[in-house]
Structure 1
Amino acid sequence: MALRVGVVGVGSMGKNHARIYSQMPGRVKLVGVADIEAAQAQQVAHLYGCRPYTDYHDLLREVDAVSIAVPTSLHFQVASDFLELGAHVLLEKPMTSTVEEGARLLQMARAQGCTLQVGHVERFNPVVTELQRIVREEPITAVNVQRLSPYDGRVVDADVILDLMIHDLDILTMLFAPPIQHVGGIGRSLHNPDQLDYAVAMLQLGDETLATVTASRVTASRVRRMELSSPASWIVADYVERRITITRNPIGRASRNGTYRQKGVLEQIYLPAQEPLAEEIRHFLDCIETQKNPLVSGETGLAALKLVQVIKRDIYGRVAERGMAAAL
């Protein structure tokens, strides 16, 4: 019997959840979509052959599983309503606005025996899968991460750390053994004085690896890039292009008179053009059917949220000190 599923919040991300569910006849039945914007709910429902709702409460007892893609400030309330009734939940990242809310959701999912998966979709990007193999084989000494985006006025309830940087913090916790320690950071607010739009965090990964993570939502171009350095190579991973480039240090020596020097060996790794969100949703359904723990479980989502909290406290503290110093 097909699993009854629904989607709450069908904006730019949620409508893609609905699209993918609609392409899985026999495995799931897309019962309905909910959005406070009636026209949006009707349009998506018409596209994918399900019922529209403007109040997600009307969907609560109609589904066995749900994708939730509402604003971050609503994650806890919406997800807890479904978990209380025993529905499995795929919750878009970040898990919640606060660590305390995330911990309560996790406790609720455990008590109800429900699958709770957090939508850190980059985990399902083939670039990240390949990076796992590379990091196992290379002694990485330094990492530089950039996640840059143009300004998006729709995101009003999460700063750039909670909205964007959290993706890369989650990936780093997957790639490198603990502990991950926050060393320091800086940030700037450009559009909203109460929220950072640009932030840089410096981390120590384990005992020997240093990382710099930059997140921006005020950059003209969209960049998703990780650079890793080892004694023998330089690795550049482009999430958007789904390509990894490895420059190997030369083994040979320069010619005796210095006129020739080998610069290195360049390797290009091209990866399959699979859709990470589709892979994420298939994994969610697999976990429901087999009762296995998701790759991005509630525990994993909560760990990323805790690291965000540490970084935010440091950077916002520095911003406040700078503001006080300027006022003196």
Structure 2
Amino acid sequence: MTATLRAGLVGLGMMGRHHARVLDALPGVELVALADPGGDPHGVAGGRPVGRDVQHVLDIGVDCCVVSVPTAHHEPVAVALAEAGVATLVEKPLALDVAAAERVVEAFRSRGVLGAVGHVERYNPALQQARRRLEHGQLGELYQVATRRQGPFPRRIGDVGVVMDLGTHDIDITEWVTQQPLVSVSARTTHRSGRAHEDLVAVVGQLADGGITNHLVNWLSPFKERLVVLTGTEGSFVVDTLAADLTFHANGPGELPWDAIAQFRGVSEGDVVRYSFAKPEPLRTELEAFRDAVLGVGSDVVTLESALRTIRVAAACLDSARTGTTVGV
């Protein structure tokens, strides 16, 4: 890197501490300004002063900034950075609701400032492998996407429910991997943990090309699961994003040897291949892409417009659950 970007970080909580760690080690970037009203609970400042808010970062002066505050505060912090002309990466989801997300998009668009969103799963090496293989036709015609994102309740989340916090990962993954927009969703939610927001959602969606999706997301499981299954005419990809593993299950041969099942007209089991590939940390890959975009040497970031689209789909899921109807997107 020939240039060094002065970077800021607003929000030093559970996700912010990882941004600080990666930014500190990223070539071409110097983390110079940090802010959080709660101070530095994870000890990531490394002797640098920690301000209370985004104004501290602006006063020090930065070229770019990462926003990792609670979702309810994304809009005011991001807009302040846009108004100051600072290239910004906002953690997902982009904002609390559609209206807030629209205002953030407009703040950056109207000023010609680079904005990006931290949908870090796009940088998971197993999902990137799956997308490339889909583009090359390995699964043939894709007709189903199924995701499961389950685990214990994260006590750090208090301002949104499971749809906006976790479900936005699966919405974004589905549309990005398939390169198809969701055109309708039918969702059901439940409240089991005594909070104001939903803690479980089950969604059935339809893609523009007719593909069917389903998504099970909750904060109620005593185990952690992150699974994406893509099924097409030639077989299935199974993506475990926790381990960054990709397995291909090929359809078996057309002729079956046993008379008892010779009339079967579906598919049979074929070869199973577990792929080997490099597995860089997704957050580092994401921040490298953001750095390159700020420097004008790359554009592999999740755009504000794409993240707004994800918020619209998530809002449609909540509308569907509330009304008990299928909602168009």
Correspondences of 1:209-288 after superposition (within 5 Å): 209-251=211-253, 253-255=255-257, 263-288=269-294
1:54 to 43, 52, 59: 52
Q: Distance in 2 between matches of 1:55 and 1:100?
A: 23
Q: Distance in 2 between matches of 1:71 and 1:259?
A: 55
**Partner residue, 1:300:** 306
**Partner residue, 2:165:** 163
Instruction: State whether residues 177 and 205 of structure 1, in contact with CA within 8 Å, keep that contact through their aligned partners in structure 2.
Output: no
Q: Distance in 2 between matches of 1:317 and 1:192?
A: 21
| Higher helix proportion | 1
Alignment: residue pair count: 315
**Partner residue, 1:131:** 130
Shift of 1:222: 1.0
Compared CA separation, residues 256 and 73, structure 1 to 2 (3 A): closer
Q: Distance in 2 between matches of 1:256 and 1:40?
A: 64
Compared CA separation, residues 177 and 5, structure 1 to 2 (3 A): closer
Moved more, 307-316 or 227-236: 227-236
**With structure 2 as the length reference, what TM-score do the two structures score?**
0.89
Q: Distance in 1 between matches of 2:195 and 2:322?
A: 11
Compared CA separation, residues 87 and 179, structure 1 to 2 (3 A): closer
Helix, strand or coil for the counterpart of 1:38? coil
Q: Distance in 2 between matches of 1:272 and 1:72?
A: 32
Give unpaired runs (5+ residues) of structure 2.
263-267
Compared CA separation, residues 18 and 141, structure 1 to 2 (3 A): same
Give unpaired runs (5+ residues) of structure 1.
320-328
Helix, strand or coil for the counterpart of 2:106? helix
Q: Which amino acid aligns with 2:83?
A: E
Instruction: State whether residues 176 and 206 of structure 1, in contact with CA within 8 Å, keep that contact through their aligned partners in structure 2.
Output: no
**Partner residue, 1:71:** 70
Q: Which amino acid aligns with 2:302?
A: V
Compared CA separation, residues 255 and 35, structure 1 to 2 (3 A): same
Shift of 1:253: 3.0
Q: Distance in 2 between matches of 1:280 and 1:216?
A: 25
Q: Distance in 2 between matches of 1:18 and 1:68?
A: 11
Compared CA separation, residues 176 and 24, structure 1 to 2 (3 A): closer
Identity of aligned residues (%): 27
